[in-house]
Amino acid sequence: MNNKQKILIVDDSEMNRSILADILEDKYEIIETEDGVEGVAAIQKYGTELSVVLLDVVMPRMDGFGVLDLMNQHHWIDEIPVIMISSESAQTFVERAYDMGVTDFISRPFDALIVRRRVINTILLYAKQKKLTDLLVTQLMEKEERSNLMVDILSHIVEFRNGESGLHVIHVRMLTELLLNHLLNKTDRYNHLSKEEQDMISMASALHDIGKISIDEAILNKPGRLTDEEFEIMKTHSMIGAKMLSETTPYKDDKLVQTAYEICRWHHERYDGSGYPDGLKGDDIPISAQIVSMADVYDALTSERVYKKALPHETAIQMIMDGKCGAFNPLLLECLQEVSETIRNTMASDVAALDRKRATQNVAAELLRNNQISASERTLRLLEKEREKYKFFAALTKEIQFEYNIDPPTLTLNPWGTQKLGLDEIIMEPRQNPQFMAIMGEETWNTVKQMLLNSTPERPAITYDCKLQYNGELRWHRVIARAIWQEEEEEPIFQGAIGKVLDIHDSKQRLAELERKANHDSLTGLLNHASARKQIIEQLEGHPHEKYALIIFDLDHFKNANDTYGHIFGDEVLKMEAQKLKDSLRNEDIAARIGGDEFLIFLKYTDEVEPIIDRLFNILIGRLEDFEFTVSMGVAQTEAFDSNDYETLFHAADTALYAIKRSGRGQYRIYSADLADTLANTEASAITEIESNIVEPQELPND
């Protein structure tokens, strides 16, 4: 494997690229491009794999400054150092290059020692900067984690005293984040909230009931209804919490403390002014307190307390929407309805997630005590945080997501997928699971598995459209999966796959309808000429030894019917003829309207074709109101020709139809070589007769 650092040389001079490559290729992997456009493409492809870019200035299509401009726009210059190479050394030129972010400047002609030294220095400089940046990020993350930890500890102390399980704080925080994100996507009214302020609201929500630490436990944990006096005492917790925060003198101006103050004091205010402690109304209540208030009410309704049983999700949502738990911002009520299913899924799965989290932490702690792993607790927390974020966003996408392991055969579904399909989250031996196979189907299972086995580590992704059966309906879905391969020295070993399943039924139906409209005549519902031609060619090429007949017919004197009865009547005649064709032909036969009152039929036969033609001809003759119509029909058979060529058949049938029209209409004729000769002779005679009747002009006398 090539572990050399990559250097990109962007220069239109092959000689310059060759000299630089000769200087550097012993220690670095060299990538060459000959202009700015190719250079940008290479930067997009390799990204931070590039240790440095050596960039010429004067190049065709896009010069070096154009490349630098794009690197600045996309912030690539922040992570990929650039050394400018040029024979131009004017002060303004060099200053412009440095202003656009280049790290160093090398003039031509090249000195090998200078080139190597400056490349090495640049790479080392960026490596040190990256190390310092990573260290700073780590310290900031640790600081944030410590802040989160202290907030969680403080809020859990309150809940422990309150006789609750500790889940309430987690639920409120999760719901606050969910409602806030949806609200910001729904409206631009709160665009003034920075990302930092949004994070503050979620974190500070954990402190909403901190004032309860001063309430008598007898009131907090009373199993029955509170008296009026007790309720008034309970209501003081909002002001007590706010006062505690405002008196944290060293930190009272901290944004987290200020946000927590808003939430503590006003999360029991109501949009109509009926709340406490200050009776604030409408948007006088900070949006942070409004959102936490709704999250608090929902979780209180759906959680068991010493004084009540937990209510179902639907009941809690309906009670809030009906105003039975106080008045809320109408916009927030819309958000609550729109994320209702996400809330249900998130709340239903998070208790199990917490159990898994505790189990993971216990195992990790035990392994650490025995020096079996070296991962830090901070790393574990970060991994757990990422897993929670993944679970949250997966619920929002409403996709069936899965992971399949081959040893032992195990299929794991995401919570939304389990609810959608009515299956367990973990399915051992899915091939032997009747419920799963009833949904997937034997053929689909085998096809998807074979496609995964046929993939490679270089091309591991597959896409497959299939139908799944669930909830009494067969619907189109798209399976998008990535095979997981274990790289071995001899050959890779298939380990399983990850992927998702998308419901594409409605879009598939719309596409099918659009294709149907594109392939069919809008008036009669028959195929149009182009689509019929394509299908006929496929049959002729796919089954060249079968016997086929191509028929062209039109309605006699159809123009007279249009002129006498009108175009609406004419349309009804055409639709009636089309319906006769649909009723008379087999599913494998092809019928099309090829223009005006002309139609085409293509069919396969085994014995004689004439009885079939005779039957169709008589069926197509008819009457509509006072108009009695006949048809003229030309027929061509594949037997009459050496090769099955559509254009030849069509021309032959058209020739036979033309012969009928010349002899009086209202008949059908099958094409033959004799017919073609007769028509040719007739046309030649007609031309001769016309030419013999032409009077030659008399010659004019000369002046």
d(CA 106, CA 540): 69
Asked whether residue 145 carries a pLDDT value surpassing 70, the answer given is no
**What residues does CATH 3.30.450.20 cover in the chain?**
398-505
Q: What is the pLDDT of residue 142?
A: 53
Q: Which of 554, 526, 535 is nearest to 646 (CA)?
A: 535
Q: Which of 86, 30, 77, 31 is nearest to 56 (CA)?
A: 86
What would the two tokens of residue 311 be?
């209510």
What confidence tier does 203 reach under pLDDT thresholds 50, 70, 90?
A: confident
3-state class percentages of the chain: helix first, strand second, coil last, to nearest 5: 55, 15, 25
What confidence tier does 528 reach under pLDDT thresholds 50, 70, 90?
A: very high
Dihedral angle over CA of 27, 31, 34, 40, nearest 10? -120
CA distances from 75 to 72, 79, 121, 263 (A): 5, 8, 22, 38
Dihedral angle over CA of 408, 414, 415, 420, nearest 10? -100
Q: Which amino acid is at 671?
A: Y
Dihedral angle over CA of 108, 112, 114, 115, nearest 10? 70
Q: Which DSSP string corresponds to 609-670?
A: SHHHHHHHHHHH-EEETTEEE-EEEEEEEGGGSSS--HHHHHHHHHHHHHHHHHTTSS-EEE
Instruction: Give the residue-averaged pLDDT of 10-25.
Output: 87
Q: Which of 55, 39, 46 is nearest to 102 (CA)?
A: 55
Asked whether residue 357 carries a pLDDT value surpassing 50, the answer given is no
Sign of the four-CA dihedral 52, 57, 58, 59 = positive
Q: Which DSSP string corresponds to 423-479?
A: --SEEESGGG-HHHHHHH-HHHHHHHHHHHHH--SSS-EEEEEEEEEETTEEEEEEE
Higher pLDDT pick, 604 / 696: 604
Sign of the four-CA dihedral 230, 232, 236, 238 = positive
Q: pLDDT digit string (tens) for 21-67?
A: 888 888 889 999 988 888 988 888 888 888 899 998 888 888 899 99
Phi/psi for 386 (5° steps) reads -65, -40
Q: What is the pLDDT of residue 148?
A: 54
What would the two tokens of residue 307 be?
């004084």
Q: Which residues of 565-588 are buried (b: 16+ CB within 10 A; e: fewer)?
A: beeeebebbbeebbebbeeeeeee
Q: Kindly state the helix (H) or strand (E) to which residue 204 belongs, with its residue range.
A: helix 195-204
- Give domain 162-338's CATH number out of 1.20.140.10, 3.40.50.300, 1.10.3210.10, 1.10.357.10: 1.10.3210.10
Q: Which of 474, 368, 469, 491 is nearest to 422 (CA)?
A: 469
Q: What is the pLDDT of residue 562?
A: 84
**Chain centre to alpha carbon of residue 30:** 37
CA atoms within 13 A on the CB side of 154: 20
**Chain centre to alpha carbon of residue 377:** 36
Mean pLDDT of the chain: 81
Give me the residues paired with residue 409 across strands. Answer: 406
- 8 A C-beta contact, residue 80 and residue 130: no
pTM above 0.75, yes or no: no
Q: Is residue 515 helix, strand or coil?
A: helix
Q: What is the pLDDT of residue 158?
A: 53
Least confident of 325-339, 444-458, 486-500, 535-549: 486-500
**Third-level CATH fold of 398-505:** Beta-Lactamase (3.30.450)
With vertex at residue 512, the alpha carbon angle to CA 506 and CA 514, rounded to the nearest 5 degrees, is 105
Q: What is the pLDDT of residue 135?
A: 60
Asked whether residue 506 carries a pLDDT value surpassing 80, the answer given is yes
Q: What is the pLDDT of residue 108?
A: 76
What would the two tokens of residue 654 be?
């058209």
What confidence tier does 439 reach under pLDDT thresholds 50, 70, 90?
A: very high
**What residues does CATH 1.10.3210.10 cover in the chain?**
162-338
Contacts 24+ apart (CB under 8 A), 354-360: 354/167, 354/170, 357/384, 360/384
d(CA 520, CA 56): 58
Higher pLDDT pick, 251 / 253: 253
d(CA 305, CA 108): 79
d(CA 560, CA 297): 78
SS3 of 581-604: the string is HHHHCCCCCEEEEEECCEEEEEEE
- Name the architecture of domain 5-134: 3-Layer(aba) Sandwich (3.40)
d(CA 238, CA 244): 10
Sign of the four-CA dihedral 531, 534, 536, 539 = negative
Radius of gyration over alpha carbons of the chain, in Å? Answer: 40
Q: What is the pLDDT of residue 212?
A: 82
**What residues does CATH 3.40.50.2300 cover in the chain?**
5-134
- The CATH number of the structural domain formed by 520-689 is 3.30.70.270
Asked whether residue 674 carries a pLDDT value surpassing 90, the answer given is no
What confidence tier does 352 reach under pLDDT thresholds 50, 70, 90?
A: very low
Q: pLDDT digit string (tens) for 628-659?
A: 889 999 999 998 888 788 999 999 999 999 98
Asked whether residue 378 carries a pLDDT value surpassing 50, the answer given is no
d(CA 607, CA 624): 34
